[in-house]
A and B are shown apart, each in its own frame.
Chain A
Amino acid sequence: MVASCGTNCVGCFGVSWLSLLAFFLTEAWINLRRHGVATLATVLTVALVVSLWGAFALLVKGAQRWLIWEGAKLERLCVFLRPQADEQVARRLQTQLRKLPQVVAVRFVHRDEGLRRLQQLFGDSVPLKDLIGHNPLPHALEVTCRSPQHVARCAAILRKMPDVDEVAYPAAAVERFVRLLRQVRWGANVFSLLLAIVAFALIHNAIRLSLYGRRNEIRIMQLVGATVWTVRSPFIAEGFLYGVFGGLMALAMLAGLRWLGLQTLEAGYLRGTLEAMAMDADFIQRAFALAVGLGTVSATIAALQLVKPQ
């Protein structure tokens, strides 16, 4: 605000920042309504970018949480002995392993019990023993570690033992799965980035369209003494609103898809993952920040490029 010139002109009226903010938002809202189709296309693109990002963020989170905390028993590993190792060797190894500081319990699994378990997996319709003619399984030991963090270390020790043929643990599978998910997520992020560029271009174009539609307003604004930022701000507010509506739409889409999935899927891995994909406050904040940030930053860049001080 300039100092009073003593004439009671508009410069002496003072600036009400609240009124100015209301003005920006009102003008932005008028613009959004004026260009309905362009607005809808832009909001949808922002929503698509955020939904895609959000879907994969939730999927990775859900898969990790379900697998780690509810699914597999990650502190366990299974030690398969060499085929020539007999029960005596297995019992000796069992005693030896119990002494390891990382280990809580060791259970001997006779090769016959192993086959019975395998048979249970396949069901009675496939008689394994009849098909193969003999039991091909070795004796095994089920080792329970103190925590999932000890499993990899314990597995490394076991693999070095002469009578041990193979060490399998669910954590390895989980790690592989999570790694795969991360790769898919990375791909999704690249796709999201491409969509973000499209959203940026659409927002840029929408702002250009608004500028053209509002050239008279801009001329009037400049002539009555609006600062360059006052002229730019309604367009930035427009981008902000694209982000707000795009973000809300994305969250609604994600919540809707999750609800639909829960209604249709039966109990199992997918449903477990979906149940763990809850949209918590942190996720909602991040998704909303992404949408609003995308809208506001794109619009600010467009306004900086297209509205110059005059």
Chain B
Amino acid sequence: MVVLRDVTVDYGNGAPALQRVNLTVEKSEFVFVVGPTGAGKSTLLKLLTREVIPTEGQVWVAGREVTQMKLSQVPHLRRLIGTVFQDILLLPDRTVWENVAFALRVTGASSATVLREVPRALEMVGMLPKAKAFPRELSGGEKQKVALARALVIRPLLLLADEPTGNLDPVASQEIVELLLRINRQGTTVLMATHDWTLVNAYRQRVVELQDGRIVRDELRGVFRRELA
């Protein structure tokens, strides 16, 4: 699903954000990308949506070579990828339903598709009962679930979660990770960047650890040592 080969990203403001990174993630895998702030976790995820172009190396996503991809093809790549962030980015003047439907409408999906897919995505994250609520009426965890529904509504092959629990309390964080795991069990590949060692250690999935832009550890059913967070 994801292949990075000798990838270096240098923003030109000091040390490179990523240095000669090699990584392969198979279809339906769940990977925690861990490391301290500034280790290169977000840069790694942004490479996959082509928000960042590597200085050197190659990136493949779902069989597509992202580095050489024409700009006109990038939207089609992004329609295969769902993304959730620490800053939840819900539209405050729209309801939960409208926020989720927004992701479909911008791609020109028909009303029938919207009516079919939005309830499905909201049901998956348990937010269908609050479809008519506005973001201001929701808790932090609920907002993140809506953001997750918005990422899922496009039926992505790959789900990228960049610190999705960063602003949440432990209970809500746990709910979000369990949701991601459930989505993963249904066949979606998930990459979750985090520095929350409790979550990583609680769920024992594959762990890719980054430090100073390099992969220093890649373990199946790995842990994340507290002192590194």
Query: For the complex, is B125 an interface residue (Cβ under 8 Å from A)?
Result: no
Q: How far is the CA of A19 from the CA of B76 in the complex (A)?
A: 18
- Kindly identify which residue among A10, A217, A310 contacts B107, using a CB–CB cutoff of 8 Å: A10
CB distance from B119 to the nearest CB of A (A): 15
B136-157 vs A, CB cutoff 8 Å, 1 = contact: the mask equals: 0000000000000010011111
Q: How far is the CA of A19 from the CA of B111 in the complex (A)?
A: 7
- What A residues does B83 contact at CB under 8 A? 223
- Given contacts A216-B89, A216-B91, A224-B154, whether A11 and B76 have CB atoms under 8 Å apart is yes
- What A residues does B227 contact at CB under 8 A? none
Stretch of B35-43, B67-75, B217-225 at the chain-chain interface = B67-75
Q: How far is the CA of A5 from the CA of B157 in the complex (A)?
A: 10
Closest A residue by C-beta to B92: A216
Give chain B interface residues in 30-89, CB to chain A under 8 Å.
Answer: 49, 51, 62, 71-72, 74-80, 83, 89
| Interchain CB contact under 8 A, B106 and A23 | yes
- Kindly identify which residue among B51, B74, B102, B108 contacts A220, using a CB–CB cutoff of 8 Å: B102
| Interchain CB contact under 8 A, A2 and B78 | no
- What A residues does B107 contact at CB under 8 A? 10-11, 13, 15, 224-226, 230
Query: For the complex, is A159 an interface residue (Cβ under 8 Å from B)?
Result: no
| Interchain CB contact under 8 A, B62 and A5 | yes
| Interchain CB contact under 8 A, A9 and B157 | yes
Query: For the complex, is A227 an interface residue (Cβ under 8 Å from B)?
Result: yes
State how many residues of chain A have any CB contact under 8 Å with chain B. Answer: 32
Query: For the complex, is A102 an interface residue (Cβ under 8 Å from B)?
Result: no
Query: For the complex, is A69 an interface residue (Cβ under 8 Å from B)?
Result: no
- What B residues does A8 contact at CB under 8 A? 155
B110-121 vs A, CB cutoff 8 Å, 1 = contact: the mask equals: 110110010000
Q: How far is the CA of A104 from the CA of B106 in the complex (A)?
A: 73
| Interchain CB contact under 8 A, B108 and A16 | yes
| Interchain CB contact under 8 A, B102 and A10 | no
CB distance from B72 to the nearest CB of A (A): 7
Query: For the complex, is B105 an interface residue (Cβ under 8 Å from A)?
Result: yes
Give chain A interface residues in 1-40, CB to chain B under 8 Å.
Answer: 2, 5, 7-11, 13-17, 19-20, 23, 30, 34
CB distance from A271 to the nearest CB of B (A): 52
| Interchain CB contact under 8 A, B102 and A13 | no
- Kindly identify which residue among B74, B105, B106, B154 contacts A9, using a CB–CB cutoff of 8 Å: B154
Query: For the complex, is A222 an interface residue (Cβ under 8 Å from B)?
Result: yes
For B51, B77, B107, B111, the residue with the greatest tally of chain A CB atoms inside 10 Å of its CB is: B107
Q: How far is the CA of A146 from the CA of B157 in the complex (A)?
A: 85
Query: For the complex, is B109 an interface residue (Cβ under 8 Å from A)?
Result: yes
CB distance from B92 to the nearest CB of A (A): 9
- Kindly identify which residue among A15, A20, A23, A225 contacts B78, using a CB–CB cutoff of 8 Å: A225
Give chain A interface residues in 203-250, CB to chain B under 8 Å.
Answer: 216-217, 219-228, 230
Q: How far is the CA of A2 from the CA of B105 in the complex (A)?
A: 16
For A30, A34, A224, A309, the residue with the greatest tally of chain B CB atoms inside 10 Å of its CB is: A224
Q: 4 nearest interchain CB pairs? A: A225-B79, A10-B154, A15-B108, A16-B110
For A14, A23, A223, the residue with the greatest tally of chain B CB atoms inside 10 Å of its CB is: A223
Query: For the complex, is B104 an interface residue (Cβ under 8 Å from A)?
Result: yes
